[in-house]
Amino acid sequence: MFRVIKNWSKNSNGSTQAVQIIGFIIVFGLFVSVVSVLLNHFINPHILPLTNEVAIHPYRALGLYFAFVAAASVIVPIPTLPIDLLFFGLLDPIFVIVVRVAGGIAGGSISYFLAFNYGRPLLRRLLSEKNYGFIEKYSNTLNWQQFFIIAMIPVINAELMAYVGGVGKIGYRKTISTLLLATGYRVLFVYFVIHYR
């Protein structure tokens, strides 16, 4: 990772682009976090129709939760924190943790597949040749250790990293195993820190 940063610093153009990309990822992660906190603050989870569904049919509600988390992992800006807290408050936390992580991995697999098959052609059409060349160069040189470190940073959206793994040459198993760890520790953080505040 430090070789890549060193190479970026040698080239001022690459340094500017690297700072822009890292800044975008951090700002995007902060945006999703702020939306999650605002939704959690202003929406009372006990008046939602989902509360009744959970009380009457808990396993059906877990299935809906799985589908929601998988969809939210593919459509990255959808925050799951309010729904996570609702389910932690209404059901057995072990079931919620397992379903949350499984839904995140299912959505991450779909995101990886989409990025692997359609990511580079889409980026080639959307970006200028210079910016696409930059993305292609660094996605080809990104290794698993760098990907792991970036995915474990709490502000960076773990679901977004599935797209990065699909565009890069990291491989499905390494991408999904990293996302498993990143999603797992974030769900445990939500349960132990935010849920019990």
- pLDDT score for 5: 45
Domain encompassing residue 74: 2-194
- pLDDT score for 154: 72
Q: Which of 11-25, 137-151, 175-189 shows the lowest per-residue confidence on average (mean pLDDT)? A: 11-25
Sign of the dihedral defined by the CA atoms of residues 148, 154, 155, 156, in that order: positive
pLDDT in tens, 79-104: 777 777 778 877 888 888 899 889 98
- pLDDT score for 9: 46
pLDDT in tens, 18-40: 666 677 777 776 776 676 666 66
For the cut 70, the answer to whether the pLDDT of residue 49 exceeds it is no
Q: How confident is the model at residue 196 (pLDDT cuts 50, 70, 90)?
A: low
Instruction: Name the burial class of residue 93, with classes exposed (0-12), middle (13-18) and buried (19+) by CB atoms within 10 angstroms of its CB.
Output: middle
Please give the tally of structural domains in the chain.
Answer: 1
Distance CA(15)–CA(17), nearest Å, equals: 5
